[in-house]
Amino acid sequence: MVTIKSRLLFLFFILFACSLFAEESHGEYKISLVGLQMDYREYDENNVLLDSEKSSFSEMMGAEFEYRYFLDDSINLELKVLTLSGNTNYVGSLIGSNQGYGSSASTTINDIRDISFMYNAKQISDFDVNMLCGLGGGYRFWQRQLSASQVEQYDWYSLRGNIGLEYNLETSVILKVLLEYQYGITPSMKTNGIDGSFKLGSADILQISVPLRYNISQHFSLTCEYLYEYQKIMKSNYLSGTVNGIYSDRWHEPDSRASNQYLKVGMIFKY
């Protein structure tokens, strides 16, 4: 963690120094530290809980990097990269034990990557409230290492759209409320012992975020954000293979739902 923090602080300093020499703002960089509180659960065909993954904000941490280029006062292009890693507490059962939920507990090592590119527009009004909307796409990757012999990798592309409101609370304080929907395209999952990838029935995400921005100067701002995310993955097809020494031709990825919360604290540099 010391190495990551030192690199981020160095990057903050470089971007801040560059912004001091900028005379006109056409774009901005945003760098945030991120904590994720995960609550992920898998269910069988009868909606019976199979297993769960949970973490606190401090157990799943990472960073988010955002670049935004302004075409004019009302339109901008946005590139965002999120990277997270850490441990979650797994509760479930051993494969083939038939002992049910809660008979086994362990720690899962996780890595999450999310990349998005958005076209954002703002309808500027004469009041302190502006309408926001955006359209774009993205890519999401999640690796769960439940054990040395069981590593699961989920990934999919997505179409993304959002709407929201922007409130100018004061001259230097801006509050936004955004609602975003992500429609997964060709979602899949692969794991050890299975030839090929499971084709997931769906992988959709709904997000509600509340970012707050405080402008210290024309070129430098502080920001914090709360984001709630609901993710739903539908049951996959069946494949054959050997997992943890057990062969079956009925392996599949079950239905799952996740209620995740993110806290983000960062800095914005304009040039």
Could you read off the pLDDT of 120-144 as tens digits, one per residue?
999 988 788 999 999 999 999 999 9
Q: What is the pLDDT of residues 153-178, one digit of tens each?
A: 999 999 999 999 999 998 899 999 99
Residue with tokens 């430098």: 220
Confidence of residue 97 (pLDDT cuts 50, 70, 90): confident
Of the two residues 8 and 125, the one the predictor is more confident about is 125
Nearest CA to 79 out of 35, 139, 22, 131 is that of: 139
CA–CA gap between residue 167 and residue 256 (Å, rounded): 35
Helix, strand, coil shares of the chain, percent, nearest 5, are: 5, 70, 25
Q: What is the mean pLDDT of the chain?
A: 91
Confidence of residue 24 (pLDDT cuts 50, 70, 90): low
Q: What is the mean pLDDT of residues 236-252?
A: 91
CA–CA gap between residue 59 and residue 35 (Å, rounded): 8
Integer Rg of the chain from CA: 21
Q: What is the mean pLDDT of residues 54-83?
A: 96
pTM > 0.85: yes or no = yes
Backbone angles phi, psi at 210, to 5 degrees: -130, 90
Q: Is residue 68 within 8 Å of residue 86, measured between CB atoms? A: no
Q: What is the mean pLDDT of residues 170-194?
A: 95
Confidence of residue 6 (pLDDT cuts 50, 70, 90): low
According to the model, what pLDDT value does residue 195 have? 86
Domain boundaries, the chain: 2-270
Question: Is 22's pLDDT higher than 50?
Answer: no
53: exposed, middle or buried (Cβ count in 10 Å: 0-12, 13-18, 19+): buried
Q: What is the mean pLDDT of residues 218-245?
A: 95
Instruction: For the beta carbon of residue 6, count every other beta carbon within 10 angstroms.
Output: 10
Confidence of residue 14 (pLDDT cuts 50, 70, 90): low
User: May I ask the CATH architecture of the domain 2-270?
Assistant: Beta Barrel (2.40)
Q: What is the mean pLDDT of residues 94-109?
A: 88
According to the model, what pLDDT value does residue 208 have? 98
CA–CA gap between residue 227 and residue 182 (Å, rounded): 14
Q: What is the maximum alpha-carbon separation in the chain?
A: 67
* DSSP code of residue 248: E
According to the model, what pLDDT value does residue 16 have? 55
According to the model, what pLDDT value does residue 12 have? 55
Question: Is 4's pLDDT higher than 60?
Answer: no
Confidence of residue 15 (pLDDT cuts 50, 70, 90): low
Q: Is residue 206 within 8 Å of residue 230, measured between CB atoms? A: yes
CA–CA gap between residue 130 and residue 124 (Å, rounded): 5
CA–CA gap between residue 24 and residue 26 (Å, rounded): 7
Question: Is 43's pLDDT higher than 90?
Answer: yes
Q: What is the mean pLDDT of residues 64-89?
A: 96
According to the model, what pLDDT value does residue 179 have? 98
Residue with tokens 């057990």: 246
Give me the helices (H) in the chain, please. 2-20
179 bridge partner residues: 163, 208
For the chain, give the number of residues: 271
3-class DSSP assignment, residue 72: coil
